[in-house]
């Protein structure tokens, strides 16, 4: 999508600190990190969000989570991290290109606020 921030990041039109890249997914450091590790994993194909996702998106959403797991392994935080999808403005979703937050490197409270 031409006016989507994360599509522009994937295309390299807006700079990002890339941490993972494969055929289906792209991951980069969050610009405003909420934890020592705060990475965003996005599908390269534009999907607006989880509630707009369809059955055909299942594989790529799974791939985003597997990419997050791989990044967590690489950073040696695999026993203490969280993957989060904010869904809708009331949850804090502010960018409408589906993204998995990978948060770790500090204690994580449950339930989240």
The 25-29 sheet, strands edge to edge = 18-21, 25-29, 37-43, 100-104, 81-84
Residue 108 interacts with which of Zn ion, ligand 5GP, none, CB < 5 to 8 Å by class: none
- Near ligand 5GP in 72-91, by CB under 6 A: 86
Nearer to ligand 5GP by Cβ, of 55 and 111: the residue is 111
Q: Which two tokens stand for residue 37?
A: 């590790």
| 49 secondary structure, DSSP code | -
Spatial distance between the Cα atoms of 92 and 94, rounded to a whole number of angstroms? 6
Q: Of these partners, Zn ion, ligand 5GP, none, which one is at the site of residue 46 (CB under 5 to 8 Å by kind)?
A: Zn ion
Considering only residues 63, 97, 99, 101, which one is a binding residue for Zn ion as defined by CB under 5 A? 97
Contact of residue 97 among ligand 5GP, Zn ion, none (CB under 5-8 Å per partner type): Zn ion
State in angstroms the smallest separation of the CB of 106 from Zn ion: 29
Active-site residue, 99 included: yes
Sequence-ordered list of residues with C-beta below 8 angstroms from that of 93, at least 6 positions apart, any chain: 49, 86, 87
What ranges make up the beta strands (E) of 1-113?
18-21, 25-29, 37-43, 81-84, 100-104
Q: Which residues bind Zn ion (CB under 5 A)?
A: 1, 4, 6-7, 46, 97
Q: Which residues bind ligand 5GP (CB under 6 A)?
A: 5, 14, 16, 28-32, 40, 86, 92-95
């Amino acid at each position: 999508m031409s006016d989507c921030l994360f599509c522009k990041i994937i295309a390299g039109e807006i700079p990002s600190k890339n941490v993972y890249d494969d055929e289906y997914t792209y991951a980069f450091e969050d610009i405003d990190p909420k934890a020592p590790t705060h990475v965003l994993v996005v599908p390269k194909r534009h999907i607006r969000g989880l509630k707009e996702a369809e059955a055909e998106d299942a594989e790529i959403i799974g791939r985003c989570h597997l990419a997050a797991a791989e990044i967590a392994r690489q950073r040696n935080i695999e026993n203490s991290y969280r993957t989060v999808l904010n869904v809708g403005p009331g949850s804090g979703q502010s960018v409408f290109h589906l993204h998995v937050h990978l948060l770790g490197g500090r204690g994580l409270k449950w339930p989240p606020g």
